[in-house]
Structure 1
Amino acid sequence: MRGLIGFGFGLVALAAPALAQTAPQPPATPNVSAETAVAKRYVAEGKVPGIVILTGRPDGTVTIVSEGRIADEATAHAADADSLWRVYSMTKPLTGIAAMILVEEGKLKLDQPISDFIPAFKNMKVLVDPSKDLTSRPATRPITVRNLLTHTAGLGYNIITKGPLLAEYNRLGINPAQVNAEMEVQMAAARPDSLEEFANRTATLPLIADPGAKWSYSIGLDVLGRVIEVASGVKFDEFVNTRILKPLKMNESYWTVPADKVGNFATVYAFVGTARVPADPAASSIYLKKPEFPYGGAGLVMSAHDYDRFLHMLLNGGALDGARILKPETVALAMSNLLPAGADTSILNETGKDTGVQLGFGAGGSIYLNDAPSGPGKGTYGWGGAAGTIAWVDPVHKVRAVAMINLFGDTPLKREVSKAVYADLAR
């Protein structure tokens, strides 16, 4: 199952449309947009039972393309802008922006050691040979808030990390994500019962690299959740709820799906061979039960409408419908390249190497460092989720977009949606 999940590599989603290698598109007609064509094909070919693509355009209009249903059953609700989807790693940008609220308030500094908030991280060690054993040496510098925001802390991820360190992550329950009820039996047995204990356990393990040395996908945004609650004096999920979700009227976003919302909650699927099977049916989903602690890297269930409101706020410079979340200059900072100088970004850029774009990293999401040919502009900020979801903000073209499916392991849709959005804009 771990191989199906692949939490987060959303950077492949925003490929330059002219260069992306995708399945052939049905010919567009004056009455059928490229986005509609993609959505119809995904459902017609049986990849997913349903899909929603919501795009905010430069002229201020919003288009919503929806096809199919949120599950295979004939009685399942039609997919729409209010349907609920597991967004997994698309939670990370919200956690990043939550941290930026505290940066703006002076309660956090980007280059502040996180040991100021979690003393257990005071004296970290770094593995000498990650493939061999757990022999370690002292880290050359402390982990900072910037490192957590940009996956440069040297932390691992049990979906990425290998060797002896992975065994330690699993032994200590460093697995901040929910998959399904069956897997949760084993995962919850080892997992810490609080965000505080999760962070403290993580601090006992060696790093894979010195802080600031390289970009490596990690649990950094989960650990950042603990930093946020210490710095703010408010529980992490409550902080996100009261400082982002509530003021933006994101009323269909949940850490735990309420029982009365199950009928509008998508089932997540996975392919086993050529068969698409339910991996976490909505009616018995693990997301109906409260987790041990809120997962800042993969914990939210959201509607396309709600995620669009978050994107719209960013595109507006931090405010929406009278609610100001951040100052414009803080939004610009969050959506800038925050990577430490000299950090190795080869892993970050590997999956997008055919796009003609160099990637940086901002507050929990990737950043375009140059314009993509016929695609997203320089400064585009976004990320994707393990089950095929994708979202981004393009300040150059004044575009925001979110696409929702729930299918583990699907990455082609991410590029195809990007290609379709910019093709429709060109038309």
Structure 2
Amino acid sequence: MQSYVDSRKFAGASVLIAQGGQEVFFHAAGQRNIAADLPFERDTVARIYSMTKPVTSVALMMLAEHGLLHLDAPLGEFIPAFRDMRALIPGATRIDQTEPCATPTLHQLLTHTAGLSYPFNPGVLPQAMEEEDILFRPDQGSLAAMTERLAALPLAFKPGSRWEYSVAIDVLGRVVEVVSGQSLAEFFEAEILTPLGMDQTRFSVPEGTGDRFASLYTPLAGGAMALNAARKGDDPLRLVDVAGRSPFEAATMQSGGGGLVGTIDDYMAFCEMLRRGGTNGETRILSPRTLGFMMRNHLPGDIASMGVASFAEQPMEGMGFGLGGAVVLDPARARVPGSIGDFSWGGMASTFFWVDPVLDLSVVFFTQLSPSSSYPARPQLKALVHGALVG
């Protein structure tokens, strides 16, 4: 971690490791705000971006456990704008080259096989999303309105035919709202965050955190998520979002795909709930059978076998995908040390977590550098942790 700080790859970072429910390691290095010379500390509040997705996936499965929905239900049952869907024809070069297709199911959205995408992926649909500014950013208004705008575009492919990283979990956040009758923030707070003691995790930077909110940096010359036109800039730590002027301090969008900010201890509480089969202490969020179901591979093979052309927060070879995160099928093919069944995901600001059911291990890594593809910090971290396990 210190070498990353010294070489100006990361401004600052922290890592927290627990085994068998006991903390075994914590370390922080560098700064959360370079200009103000503030250290990256244990209570630093960070943007976790796509590490929000497992939380939303848990929320949806809580509703499933109550019999309020089932995973093969078509999305149009909950959001009528998605009832009559069209998909781009194979080889399409324009957004109007489409054909009728089935409405994606909730399960296809959970597994990123629904035909949705992200603006930073390559392709016709991502380009249209970029032009129409469909990204579910914290300053982009209501979740309901953005979901309706997304529904007006065709799918990138027929549901179930490919895997493509996407805003699907944002759409599922809207499904949680429709089914529960609550805003996503209200549901999260009442059913997940407060019961797990995650009081520093919200869609807006929590009141009273002062200057503990970290700044966000990028090595790119353009946008911090402009992966299609990524150009290295002169400054490897160019400031792109700073406390006091950040849209995350008064978010209007409750993005189930990437909107939460929080502390490393809060996210460890969530990871420990996953590791323990749905409970953390006295609080039960899901049944162990539901968690076991979520953390299995739900694809026919690994992600790479699904015709992938998109960005992903994890390797694709040797990695399957469950409900809310990636699952290690073969560490050798993934070329990263790990156990079969490791469940993990990361965020665009280079944050990362994994839960290892074989070694009874939970690991959370925080930093604030976008995009997460900038450096191989995640496989290096896994190699370090596995290298330290000698018993």
Normalising to structure 2: TM-score of the pair? 0.88
Query: Which of structures 1 and 2 has the larger relative contact order (alpha carbons within 8 angstroms, sep 6+)?
Result: 1
Out of 261, 264, 271, the residue aligned to residue 212 of structure 2 is 264
1:309 corresponds to which of 247, 255, 269: 269
Unaligned runs of 5+ in 2: 222-232
CA contact (8 A) 1:153 1:210 kept: yes
Residue in structure 2 matched with residue 147 of structure 1 by the alignment: 108
Task: Tell me if structure 1 keeps the 8 A contact 2:164–2:309.
Answer: yes
Equivalent runs, 1:26-425 vs 2, <5 Å: 39-58=1-20, 60-73=22-35, 75-76=37-38, 78-128=39-89, 129-139=91-101, 141-163=102-124, 165-178=125-138, 191=140, 193-258=141-206, 260-271=208-219, 272=221, 273-275=233-235, 276-291=237-252, 293-339=253-299, 344-347=305-308, 358-372=318-332, 375-409=337-371, 410-425=374-389
Judged with a 3 Å threshold, the aligned counterparts in structure 2 of structure 1 residues 353 and 206 are, in CA distance, closer, same or farther, namely closer
Runs of 4+ in 1 over 4 A off after TM superposition: 340-344, 348-355, 371-374
Equivalent residue letter for 1:57: Q
Distance 1:154 1:352, change over 3 A: closer
1: CA distance between counterparts of 2:291 and 2:281?
17
Q: CA offsets per residue over residues 225-276 of structure 1, 9 Å max, x none?
A: 1111111222112111111111000011121114532411111111243412
> Using the alignment, how far apart are the partners of 1:390 and 1:203 within structure 2?
30
Secondary structure, aligned partner of 1:337: coil
Q: Deviations over 1:274-316 (max 9, x none)?
A: 412211112221211222x201111011111111110001101
- Give the % identical residues: 34
Partner of 2:226: none
1:349 offset after TM fit, Å?
10
Contact map agreement 2:201 2:260 (CA 8 A) in 1: yes
Q: 1:312, 1:280 → 2: CA distance?
A: 30
Q: What is the CA-CA distance between 1:221 and the residue it aligns to?
A: 0.4
Q: Which has the higher helix share?
A: 1
8 Å contact 2:326–2:343 — kept in the other structure? Answer: yes
Give the 3 Å change call, closer, same or farther, for CA 161–226 of structure 1 in structure 2. Answer: farther
Question: Structure 1: which 5+ runs fail to align?
Answer: 1-38, 179-187
One-letter amino acid matched to 2:261: V
Superposed displacement of residue 351, structure 1: 7.6
Helix, strand or coil at the partner of 2:327: strand
CA distance in 1, matches of 2:199, 2:207: 15
Residue 69 of structure 1 deviates from its aligned partner by 2.2
Q: Is the CA contact 2:302–2:319 (under 8 Å) kept in the aligned structure 1?
A: no
TM-score (norm: length of structure 1): 0.81
| 8 Å Cα contact 1:93/1:382 also seen in 2 | no
Partners of 2:92 and 2:170 in 1: CA distance: 22
CA contact (8 A) 1:52 1:66 kept: yes
CA–CA distance in structure 2, aligned partners of residues 99 and 255 of structure 1 = 18
CA RMSD of aligned residues (A): 2.5
Alpha-carbon distance in structure 1 between the residues aligned to 2:365 and 2:217? 16
Distance 2:336 2:95 in 1: 47
**Are residues 172 and 40 of structure 1, via their aligned partners in 2, closer, same or farther at CA, if it must alter by over 3 Å?**
closer
**Matched residues in 1 for 2:15 and 2:176: separation?**
32
* Equivalent residues of 1:91, 1:298 under 8 A apart: yes
Provide the rounded CA distance (Å) in 2 between the counterparts of 1:121 and 1:379. 34
Distance 1:342 1:375 in 2: 17
